[in-house]
Structure 1
Amino acid sequence: MENFADVDKIVAAMTINVQLFTTSGKNFIFLARRKRFLRLNEALERLALKGNKYERELWNATNRPVLPITTAYSVSCQLTVNICVLLPIFKLLFYYIWYNEVVLTLPLPGIFPYDYTLPLYYILTTILTVLLVQLCANTITVVDGLFGWFVYNISAHLQIMRLKLEQLLQLHVDDPNFHRDFVALINYHREIIDLALELDAVYAPIIFLEVTSASLPICFLAYQLSYLSDPANVPFICLLLSSIVLQLMIYCFGGEKVQNECDQLSENIYLLIPWHKLPPKHSRLLLIPFIRSQRVLVLTGYFFTANRSLLVWVSYNKNS
């Protein structure tokens, strides 16, 4: 409202405000549902420990890509914070060295009930702003990185189930171990479905908030790149834009991965089981996992499904 007549300053302020609102909302949801997050993590770990040595190795190998993905996302967030903090210092040094003028700017623009250009107030305001930005970056990395961990866990269990199915089909249907392993396979599949549904339930509001609010800062940042009032802000704008896009990609590609693993399991059940050689009573028995696998496991944001199509839709609307 203070800069109502200046569109550039309004856009710059709204970019930060929307991002802070999204971050605060995701953190609030995470804290409000912390017990469900903890139970989901424990259930996934407990389910993995039930497997044999080879299955646990497969589970670890499938989860290994989570580390470089979350590391890249964390580095992007930390670079954004560092640029946000260092940019005012570079401006101060530049104007002082070249123009012999002291120009004090804050890491994030704002209006305060005191004169922040006074040395003491400027130092305190800068420290508080840096702490706020660092807190937001660290907490949002945890929430988004944990989603990737859960997604790869679910995917690992679906891959283990495909392995169990292949091992089961090596037994003859009349083998006593076949029925025992078949019951265990059905129970394992049921547990995976329950965990995937719980993952969707706990992250649905976060995905909804992420997708609905991501378009605004992307559009605002694109506008700022088109009409630069200060070229020194380009590194910060580019890094913030990349961090927001990475946030959106984590959720969209995470949902896509779970859906693809589910489709692959359904395809394997259909192709690996020799339906034409089985007597009717055994084929009816094996229909149970096949019918269950037809239920597509998707991650949603209540009104939409998190997948690549959603990412394309958001990008298309942003370009429009």
Structure 2
Amino acid sequence: MPNMDASYFAVQRRALEIVGFDPSNPQLSLKHPIWAGILVLSLVSHNWPMVVYGLQDLSDLTRLTDNFAVFMQGSQSTFKFLVMMAKRRRIGSLIHRLHELNQAASATPNHLEKIERENQLDRYVARSFRNAAYGVICASAIAPMLLGLWGYVETGVFTPTTPMEFNFWLDEQNPHFYWPIYFWGVLGVAAAAWLAIATDTLFSWLTHNVVIQFQLLELVLEEKHLDGGDSRLGEFVSRHRIALDLAKELSSIFGEIVFVKYMLSYLQLCMLAFRFSRSGWSAQVPFRATFLVAIIIQLSSYCYGGEYLKQQSLAIAHAVYGKCNWPEMTPKKRRLWQMVIMRAQRPAKIFGFMFDVDLPLLLWVIRTAGSFLALLRTFER
């Protein structure tokens, strides 16, 4: 690891450890498979009861949208974990390759400063989503207790409520079964949050550290007088190819994840927004509110990361044009550097099979969610 403070890769390391992975292993091995299995089991055991509960009365759109929004997130978290399991060796290899590149670059003070600045930006993004996700866990655990205690103060009877509404195979009204259902429900929410934190904060870190490789290329251009020398051209092309390969591998690893995420994200947003367009209060309202905030941060972080990577890779073309000493180059060398510029004008992207992950995609998701929200309101009337 680069010679930086303890916060370097700290959020991601802790998140991976919580869900059972060993981030110190180059193959990202699963260190605690039983614990990981319990997390996935808790997700699956909550997803389908919520679907059954939501489909029991199709005329109740509030209940239907409430449960399907959470079901989608649970399904996404399960899918993310399965993708990480299938690609853990590639993910581990990419993490350690970036660590090695950062370690080599950190020997130069201005390069180390660039690495630290980018990792500080990643910490802002990662901690924002992590805190929002932990807010969802806290809301799911505390709100039912507060509502039950409020009922106890008013009526003298503790009325049990669960973190989520679903048809469980145990009767929650039975005092012997309420607490197992309650703790299993909180664990289900925590499992979805932990798996999402592990995947999404890792995406943020990988994106920012791939961006670092493009930014270090710009520093190389500033530090060296580019008069067209073969050695400098060869070094630059080699480093540029490495940065492009890292970005391509990042896109390949997360392709399935971002495709599923954004195919379901607009439905999630419109369903959660529909819930807040309805009056009424329940133990689930704080959970839904924090859940909506976490989803918005989650979607924004992916689109921000994709846009940031694209713009930084495009900046190489402008940097080469501005830093090269064109008058002193021979025509042959000038044509070679022009080819470098042409290649840099094809940006690195995070590709989700049918779309690029960037800020226009976020705008499309919001607009589509608004259209579906209007459709739901029409069905309600």
TM-score range, shorter chain: over 0.9
TM-score, length-normalised on structure 2? Answer: 0.79
Residues 24 and 171 of structure 1: is their aligned pair in 2 closer, same or farther, counting only changes over 3 Å? closer
Give CA-to-partner distance per residue, 1:281-307, whole Å, 9 cap, x none.
Answer: 221232342222122111111100111
Contact 2:143 2:286 in 1 (8 A): no
Tell me the distance in 1 between the aligned counterparts of 2:327 and 2:108: 34
Q: Partner residue of 1:83?
A: 139
Give CA-to-partner distance per residue, 1:113-135, whole Å, 9 cap, x none.
Answer: 33221122111111111112112
1:159 Cα offset (Å): 0.6
2:193 aligned counterpart, secondary structure: helix
1:64 aligned counterpart, secondary structure: helix
Q: Partner residue of 1:225?
A: 276
More contact order relative to length (CA 8 Å, sep ≥ 6): 1
Q: Partner residue of 2:130?
A: 74
What does 1:58-207 align with in structure 2 at a 5 Å threshold? 58-168=114-224, 170=225, 172-173=227-228, 178-207=229-258
Tell me the distance in 1 between the aligned counterparts of 2:168 and 2:149: 24
Tell me the distance in 2 between the aligned counterparts of 1:12 and 1:242: 15
Contact 1:59 1:157 in 2 (8 A): no
Give CA-to-partner distance per residue, 1:245-280, whole Å, 9 cap, x none.
Answer: 111011101000001101211111122223344221
Q: Partner residue of 1:240?
A: 291
Residue 259 (1) aligns with residue 341 (2): no
Q: Structure 1 counterpart of 2:326, which letter?
A: W
Q: Structure 2 counterpart of 1:162, which letter?
A: E
Match of 1:210 among 234, 240, 261: 261
Q: Structure 2 counterpart of 1:230, which letter?
A: W
Residues 127 and 233 of structure 1: is their aligned pair in 2 closer, same or farther, counting only changes over 3 Å? closer
Residues 229 and 50 of structure 1: is their aligned pair in 2 closer, same or farther, counting only changes over 3 Å? same
Residues 171 and 287 of structure 1: is their aligned pair in 2 closer, same or farther, counting only changes over 3 Å? closer
Tell me the distance in 1 between the aligned counterparts of 2:163 and 2:57: 18
Consecutive unaligned residues of structure 1, counting only runs of 5 or more, are none
Q: Percent identity?
A: 24
Consecutive unaligned residues of structure 2, counting only runs of 5 or more, are 1-54, 372-381
1:231 Cα offset (Å): 5.5
Tell me the distance in 2 between the aligned counterparts of 1:145 and 1:216: 23
1:32 Cα offset (Å): 1.3
Residue 26 (1) aligns with residue 80 (2): yes
Q: Structure 2 counterpart of 1:146, which letter?
A: L
1:232 Cα offset (Å): 5.2
Q: Partner residue of 2:358?
A: 307
Tell me the distance in 2 between the aligned counterparts of 1:6 and 1:287: 62
Contact 2:227 2:326 in 1 (8 A): no
2:230 aligned counterpart, secondary structure: helix
TM-score, length-normalised on structure 1? Answer: 0.93
The count of aligned residue pairs is 315
Match of 1:6 among 60, 66, 72: 60
Tell me the distance in 1 between the aligned counterparts of 2:230 and 2:62: 69
Match of 1:285 among 333, 336, 341: 336
The farther-off stretch of 126-135 and 156-165 is 126-135
1:48 Cα offset (Å): 2.4
